[in-house]
Amino acid sequence: MQEILDEIAQTMAAEIDRGKVADYIPELSIIDANQFAMSVALPDGRVYSAGCAEQLFSIQSISKVFSLTLALGKLGDAVWANVGREPSGDPFNSIVQLEHEQGKPRNPFINAGAIAVVDAIMMGHEPKECLAEMLQFVRYIANDENIHIDDKVALSELSCGHRNASLAHFMASFGRLHHPVDKILGVYFHQCSIAMNCQQLAKSGLFLVSEGVNQSAGYRVVSAQRARRINSLMLMCGHYDGSGEFAYRVGLPGKSGVGGGILAIAPGKASIAVWSPGLDTIGNSKLGTLALEMLVQRTGWSIF
Amino acid sequence: MQEILDEIAQTMAAEIDRGKVADYIPELSIIDANQFAMSVALPDGRVYSAGCAEQLFSIQSISKVFSLTLALGKLGDAVWANVGREPSGDPFNSIVQLEHEQGKPRNPFINAGAIAVVDAIMMGHEPKECLAEMLQFVRYIANDENIHIDDKVALSELSCGHRNASLAHFMASFGRLHHPVDKILGVYFHQCSIAMNCQQLAKSGLFLVSEGVNQSAGYRVVSAQRARRINSLMLMCGHYDGSGEFAYRVGLPGKSGVGGGILAIAPGKASIAVWSPGLDTIGNSKLGTLALEMLVQRTGWSIF
Amino acid sequence: MQEILDEIAQTMAAEIDRGKVADYIPELSIIDANQFAMSVALPDGRVYSAGCAEQLFSIQSISKVFSLTLALGKLGDAVWANVGREPSGDPFNSIVQLEHEQGKPRNPFINAGAIAVVDAIMMGHEPKECLAEMLQFVRYIANDENIHIDDKVALSELSCGHRNASLAHFMASFGRLHHPVDKILGVYFHQCSIAMNCQQLAKSGLFLVSEGVNQSAGYRVVSAQRARRINSLMLMCGHYDGSGEFAYRVGLPGKSGVGGGILAIAPGKASIAVWSPGLDTIGNSKLGTLALEMLVQRTGWSIF
Amino acid sequence: MQEILDEIAQTMAAEIDRGKVADYIPELSIIDANQFAMSVALPDGRVYSAGCAEQLFSIQSISKVFSLTLALGKLGDAVWANVGREPSGDPFNSIVQLEHEQGKPRNPFINAGAIAVVDAIMMGHEPKECLAEMLQFVRYIANDENIHIDDKVALSELSCGHRNASLAHFMASFGRLHHPVDKILGVYFHQCSIAMNCQQLAKSGLFLVSEGVNQSAGYRVVSAQRARRINSLMLMCGHYDGSGEFAYRVGLPGKSGVGGGILAIAPGKASIAVWSPGLDTIGNSKLGTLALEMLVQRTGWSIF
């Protein structure tokens, strides 16, 4: 495994077309595009890494997997009252679909859907309490108390969050949100600003590898069925309007973030985190996808 | 003329299907649907009326004609940088078109367009100053110092303004607004809450009857060309997605509001105001349209 | 009047940016873009012209005014069962709106609507009979037996008519057409291929100038109300998604065709035909619109 | 396995809400909704069945898996020049997406995409030859010479194929089809009219179970990578706008048809065919989906 990762990291270092760093969030636009890291966590606790796997980065939309998991734990299937389970066929921040479907987002991994999930989690609590709970949950599934929120990134997002505010107010106009829009967005922007390194991120996905159990930590996080269902949602909707392409090329459930990270799950085999800040035109890490494609070709881990 | 108006009012009193009062703004939903009023103002200053023509009502979107006129006066054609001049083919509060056209609203008479016009008028001023200027302008064109804003209605709109907030944030995300969204909306909701009666409203349209001049008041408001152009926009876009139907049946430039009022202009002939709070499914006054149709049949005032 | 036209023609001759000749119909793509002609027909029968006003051109979509008039004469308001009366807010050949509104076209002047009108006119007859009737009707309203169909253009359209075939089959799938699609399209393409010169075209609009009566010919074509309504449809929908702009700049009911012709009506004043084959990006004659704008500025014929 | 199937069949027999038989194709609308069959084919050649597993039915859109496989074999990745690989987020016969993406269908499993695939396969041949090749290929992968096309169903589809004709002409208008529309549709309708029973259908999917090899027949059909990729497309796009739901509930690559059949693949485990003619609102077999959900719960065959 270490050999495979080293080879991938070497190949990636030589890539010239590295995509474009997200430029609409000021704090993210200043990241150096030449960085690359990859970690593979096995159920037994071993973690293999290559590249700068201890370098923190903003997990952004990958956090949507964790907030969905938390929401399902707190509310069960009631989560699905205000968010769907279908691929959207639209960019991550599209509002067209919302108008056609009465303010109900297509899935929990596009922005509108993730905002609805935050609203579901809040349950009347203040943003601060809600964030504390969320952070505690992420530390729990990653079995790592050293995970924090990068406040500078959160503030940076707030300053340019008109599109997300538009999505939230739109849903609110259909009565789909139950807390003040500014409070929901406050939580949402902070959730997206959780900082992790590849090793932490890989470990945080272990419960999805082993039917809901983080084996190395020794506890169950969700039921086997729920783990499978979260995996299915990651495969169908985890890469916005590039989900089909990711399934075609990589063949693993995965969730990307505009910070350049991707979390991918090989059920029964491993949890994989990869990070390279340059994005393709759809907003998914360019080298991250390529690296996962290589890894799957070497390991035969495709679920298909 | 008085005879025609009396007959129309009598016919309207007998109508059973009076449409449905707008229910999404609390203060408007409690208005009695059985009311009807109509006033015809002639260039020489005479005003004929029937029904409760001194009853105040919320002019709502009719105010968009006045704010556009004010904006054109202050900025000229620069107004058109962030708002178009085409019918929208969509409901008054649709956001789909905004996404397809990079946040630029189709015309100044749909909500998004009117919000962009307010932003243009503000020019760095505070909402209070901006509203004072707007109110002064409306009093000026109507030549009536007794026109006020109904604060209760404005507050009522604020409490349920998520859809408009969504439209505003959406435009802001494309860099099309230059003031804080909450301040723009504050002005917008107050502008929509201007209260007038039919006599006042009819008089306020006189400058559009006589090529830009309010003859009875004795002053020019806009140039002849600008008056014609505002009339053309009223005809093309004044009744949202029912503009074609209004042109077909009535044949006059007109602007409706969800308060149940309509201002219609017969160029060279008269300015007409009609009010009946019940709306058709598109959001235009049901009896108001019918009354205008009758009036035009009697007078031959169609522009076609 | 002659002086005004001469001056306009001179100005147009000097214009450098003449737009782009329609290139999707082979026979139209070979027309010389440098041509220009304009004719003004007065109710008393006088016709003033400038430029190559006897040069035949393909009237294309202008024919939709004549087929609608014929359909209204044959079926009355039943025409409106399968076609609406609102501006579309979309390009002339868009199919999106059809899907959103169950195959019912927004108005009779976009392609889908005109195809529905042809279907209404056919009433079980064969294409040949239907075309003969249509041609006879156009000759009748223009009071000119020398109007023909250019078969070469019709064939040229058939060879590239996939988009219109798609629109027709789409409406048929909703049960909105009552004749075989290929027969309807045969009539439609031939109707669009009627050839006229500016003098003939201007005269063909006279019935819309004088409340339904062709005064110089001495007969009534439609009722006064119907003439006004056709004018209103021309204003609202006559220039596709550029109708608002045309109303704003010219202020007259008008219908354009991709052959570069425009028929405009100044109610009570004159019928105007203009031709210049270069189109703007929306598909309306670039110099034709400019020439009408000049004419209206000189004559004050705007309906607003 | 036999026990599981018997229990599923028994449960299905007791279901009251069986969905609605497709009514837009006359020949399909007369099928008895009370039928149910299920077959599981294992790589070693064993086939377990329950219900009327020898009853022929129209495979309809399931044929799109076979035509795509054939097209990839003939043209390789050139197939993707005119068809995408993303879920559509729209109904199976939507045309909106085509207009927004220049006539390129989102994936090979919606109608437009399958029509584009047929066009790719034809390569200048006549419909007859093309159909013969297609039928031969289906017999080859199912290792069964007794598979036929139901001409009555094909004719029935032709008689009501306006929507598909519209899709085809639309793509043709963008230059995306290279054969006459009527010939392409002829092949397409016949391909959809292939009749199979559950046993045959289950066997036809065996090459997708074992990395491209039909082990029981003893030959390779496609490469391992291609088999995985076809599976990924089935998962992402195989159930139209219900693909997310199918992945969530069943967790297997699958392709449904409006005839009520579903082919599902458990990689490395089994190929499963199920048939029940009643459909849910999206057009997928209601009991078929339910039966697969039960099967996966019993066997643990979910890929997630």
pLDDT value, residue A96: 81
Residue A188 catalytic?
yes
**Rounded (5°) CA angle C267-C271-C276:** 135
D96 vs C94: CB contact, 8 Å cut-off?
Answer: no
Residue D6 binned pLDDT confidence (cut-offs 50, 70, 90): very high
Chain A partners of D289 at a C-beta cutoff of 8 Å?
A: none
β-pairing, D254-256 vs D213-214, is unpaired
Instruction: Write the ipTM.
Output: 0.93
Name the residue facing B96 among A99, A166, A172 (closest C-beta). Answer: A99
β-pairing, B261-266 vs B254-256, is antiparallel
Q: What are the helix (H) ranges across C57-180?
A: 63-75, 96-100, 111-122, 127-142, 151-158, 162-173
Region of residue A272 (phi > 0: left; psi between -120 and 50: alpha; otherwise: beta): beta
pLDDT value, residue C14: 93
Name the one residue in this structure whose structure tokens are 């109508």: B15
Beta bridge partners of D47: D41
Distance CA D77, CA C31 (A): 41
Q: Collapsing DSSP states into helix, strand and coil, what is residue C196? A: strand
Cα separation of the two ends of chain C: 21
Residue C271: phi and psi, rounded to 5, are: -110, 130
Distance CA C242, CA C110 (A): 12
Beta bridge partners of B50: B38
Chain B partners of A99 at a C-beta cutoff of 8 Å?
A: 94-96
Q: Which of A64, A104, A203, A286 is catalytic?
A: A64
Residue B88 burial by Cβ neighbours in a 10 Å radius (0-12, 13-18, 19+): buried
Token pair recorded at residue D237: 């796009």
pLDDT value, residue C98: 86
Determine how many CB atoms are found less than 10 A away from the CB of residue B76: 10
Token pair recorded at residue D296: 């996966």
Residue A126: phi and psi, rounded to 5, are: -75, 155
Residue B53 in contact with residue B202, Cβ under 8 Å?
no
Could you tell me if A96 lies within 8 Å of chain B, comparing CB atoms? yes
Could you tell me if A165 lies within 8 Å of chain D, comparing CB atoms? no
Q: Give the chain D residue whose CA is nearest to the CA of A224.
A: D304
Token pair recorded at residue D270: 């089994």
Distance CA C294, CA C301 (A): 11
pLDDT tens digits, D64-108:
999 999 999 999 999 999 999 999 877 777 788 888 888 999 999
Chain A partners of D237 at a C-beta cutoff of 8 Å?
A: 244
Q: Which of A21, A138, A153, A258 is catalytic?
A: A258
Chains that touch A (3 or more CB pairs under 8 A): B, D
Residue C159 binned pLDDT confidence (cut-offs 50, 70, 90): confident
Name the residue facing B162 among A98, A100, A172 (closest C-beta). Answer: A172
D236 vs A241: CB contact, 8 Å cut-off?
Answer: no
Distance CA D33, CA B197 (A): 64
Could you tell me if A181 lies within 8 Å of chain B, comparing CB atoms? yes
Could you tell me if A178 lies within 8 Å of chain B, comparing CB atoms? no
Nearest-Cα distance to chain B for A145, in Å, is: 36
State yes or no: C24 annotated in a binding site.
no
pLDDT value, residue C97: 83
pLDDT value, residue A159: 73
B87 vs C236: CB contact, 8 Å cut-off?
Answer: yes
What single string gives the DSSP state of each residue in A228-286? HHHHHHHHHHTTGGGHHHHHHHT-S-EEE-TTSEEEEEETTTEEEEEE--EE-TTSSBH
Question: B2-58+197-298: which CATH topology?
Answer: Beta-lactamase (3.40.710)
State yes or no: C240 annotated in a binding site.
yes
Name the residue facing A166 among B94, B100, B166 (closest C-beta). Answer: B166
Residue D206 binned pLDDT confidence (cut-offs 50, 70, 90): very high
B302 vs C242: CB contact, 8 Å cut-off?
Answer: no
Domain with CATH 3.40.710.10 in chain B: 2-58+197-298, 61-192
Beta bridge partners of C255: C263
- Output the CA–CA distances (angstroms, integers) from residue C74 to C105, C121, C179, C206, in the order listed: 20, 7, 17, 20
Residue C213 in contact with residue C221, Cβ under 8 Å?
yes
Give the residue with greater pLDDT, B236 vs D158: B236
Residue A104 catalytic?
no
Determine how many CB atoms are found less than 10 A away from the CB of residue A295: 24
B163 vs A173: CB contact, 8 Å cut-off?
Answer: yes
Could you tell me if D227 lies within 8 Å of chain A, comparing CB atoms? yes
pLDDT value, residue D168: 96
Name the residue facing D228 among A229, A233, A302 (closest C-beta). Answer: A302
Residue A287 in contact with residue A15, Cβ under 8 Å?
yes
**Rounded (5°) CA angle A29-A35-A41:** 115
Residue C23 has pLDDT above 90, yes or no: no
Could you tell me if C178 lies within 8 Å of chain D, comparing CB atoms? no
How many cross-chain Cβ pairs, A to D, lie less than 8 Å apart?
A: 100
Residue type, D152: K
In CATH, the architecture of D2-58+196-299 is: 3-Layer(aba) Sandwich (3.40)
Domain with CATH 3.40.710.10 in chain D: 2-58+196-299, 61-192
Class for the domain spanning C2-57+196-298? alpha beta
Q: Which of A79, A183, A240, A255 is catalytic?
A: A240
Beta bridge partners of D262: D256, D274
Give CATH for domain A61-192: 3.40.710.10
pLDDT value, residue A281: 92
pLDDT value, residue A208: 98
Chain B partners of C235 at a C-beta cutoff of 8 Å?
A: 235-236, 247, 304
Please tell me chain A's helix, strand, coil percentages from 3-state DSSP, rounded to the nearest 5: 50, 15, 35
State yes or no: D93 annotated in a binding site.
no
Residue A189 in contact with residue A53, Cβ under 8 Å?
no
Could you tell me if B158 lies within 8 Å of chain A, comparing CB atoms? no
Name the residue facing A94 among B99, B167, B173 (closest C-beta). Answer: B99
In 3D space, the residue among A14, A3, A42 whose CA is nearest the CA of residue A290 turns out to be A14
pLDDT value, residue A287: 97
Chain A partners of D298 at a C-beta cutoff of 8 Å?
A: none
pLDDT tens over chain B, length 304 residues: 999 999 999 999 999 999 999 887 888 888 999 999 999 999 999 999 999 999 999 999 999 999 999 999 999 999 999 999 999 877 777 788 888 888 999 999 999 999 999 999 999 899 999 999 999 999 999 999 999 999 999 988 877 799 999 999 999 999 999 999 999 999 999 999 999 999 999 999 999 999 999 999 999 999 999 999 999 999 999 999 999 999 999 999 999 999 999 999 999 999 999 999 999 999 999 999 999 999 999 999 999 9
* Residue C236: HSE in the Cβ half-sphere, 13 Å Cα cutoff: 37
**How does DSSP classify residue B216?**
T
Determine how many CB atoms are found less than 10 A away from the CB of residue C176: 21
Pick out chain A residues at pLDDT < 50: none
pLDDT value, residue B158: 79
In 3D space, the residue among A242, A270, A205 whose CA is nearest the CA of residue A110 turns out to be A242
β-pairing, A47-51 vs A278-279, is unpaired
Chains that touch C (3 or more CB pairs under 8 A): B, D
pLDDT value, residue A94: 78
Residue D258 binned pLDDT confidence (cut-offs 50, 70, 90): very high
Name the residue facing C170 among D95, D172, D181 (closest C-beta). Answer: D95
Domain with CATH 3.40.710.10 in chain A: 2-60+196-298, 61-192
Residue type, D73: G
Residue A19 in contact with residue A280, Cβ under 8 Å?
yes
A236 vs D229: CB contact, 8 Å cut-off?
Answer: no
State yes or no: C129 annotated in a binding site.
no
Residue B50: phi and psi, rounded to 5, are: -145, 155
Q: Give the chain D residue whose CA is nearest to the CA of A243.
A: D86
pLDDT tens digits, D22-56:
887 888 888 999 999 999 999 999 999 999 999 99
In 3D space, the residue among B70, B218, B192, B182 whose CA is nearest the CA of residue B133 turns out to be B70
Residue D184 binned pLDDT confidence (cut-offs 50, 70, 90): very high
Residue A292 burial by Cβ neighbours in a 10 Å radius (0-12, 13-18, 19+): buried
Name the residue facing D88 among A85, A89, A247 (closest C-beta). Answer: A89
Could you tell me if B110 lies within 8 Å of chain A, comparing CB atoms? no
A80 CB contacts (<8 Å, ≥6 apart)? none
Instruction: Give buried/exposed letters for C37-67 (b at 16+ CB in 10 A, else e).
Output: bbbbbbbeeebbbbbbbeebbbbbbbbbbbb
Question: A2-60+196-298: which CATH topology?
Answer: Beta-lactamase (3.40.710)
Could you tell me if D210 lies within 8 Å of chain A, comparing CB atoms? no
Q: Which of A39, A49, A58, A61 is catalytic?
A: A61
Chain D partners of C170 at a C-beta cutoff of 8 Å?
A: 95, 162-163, 166
Nearest-Cα distance to chain D for C248, in Å, is: 29
Name the residue facing A304 among D107, D232, D244 (closest C-beta). Answer: D232
Chain C partners of B227 at a C-beta cutoff of 8 Å?
A: 304
Residue B276 in contact with residue B256, Cβ under 8 Å?
no
Chain B partners of C90 at a C-beta cutoff of 8 Å?
A: 89
Residue D24 catalytic?
no
Distance CA A91, CA B173 (A): 15
Residue A210 in contact with residue A141, Cβ under 8 Å?
no
Residue type, C242: G
β-pairing, C270-275 vs C37-41, is antiparallel
Report CA dihedral (B42, B45, B51, B54) to the nearest 10 degrees.
140
Distance CA D67, CA D65 (A): 6
CA A71 distance to own-chain centroid: 15
Residue D155 binned pLDDT confidence (cut-offs 50, 70, 90): confident
**What's the whole-number average pLDDT of chain C?**
94
Please give the model's pTM, rounded to 2 decimal places.
0.93
State yes or no: B188 annotated in a binding site.
yes
pLDDT tens digits, C65-87:
999 999 999 999 999 999 999 99
In 3D space, the residue among D256, D230, D238, D266 whose CA is nearest the CA of residue A251 turns out to be D230
Could you tell me if D253 lies within 8 Å of chain A, comparing CB atoms? yes
Chain A partners of D227 at a C-beta cutoff of 8 Å?
A: 304
Instruction: Give buried/exposed letters for C258-276 (b at 16+ CB in 10 A, else e).
Output: bbbbbbbbbbebbbbbbbb
C173 vs D166: CB contact, 8 Å cut-off?
Answer: yes
State yes or no: B271 annotated in a binding site.
no
Could you tell me if D255 lies within 8 Å of chain A, comparing CB atoms? no
pLDDT value, residue B146: 96
- Output the CA–CA distances (angstroms, integers) from residue B154 to A209, B120, B276, in the order listed: 54, 20, 20
Residue type, D37: A
Nearest-Cα distance to chain D for A100, in Å, is: 11
Could you tell me if D184 lies within 8 Å of chain C, comparing CB atoms? no
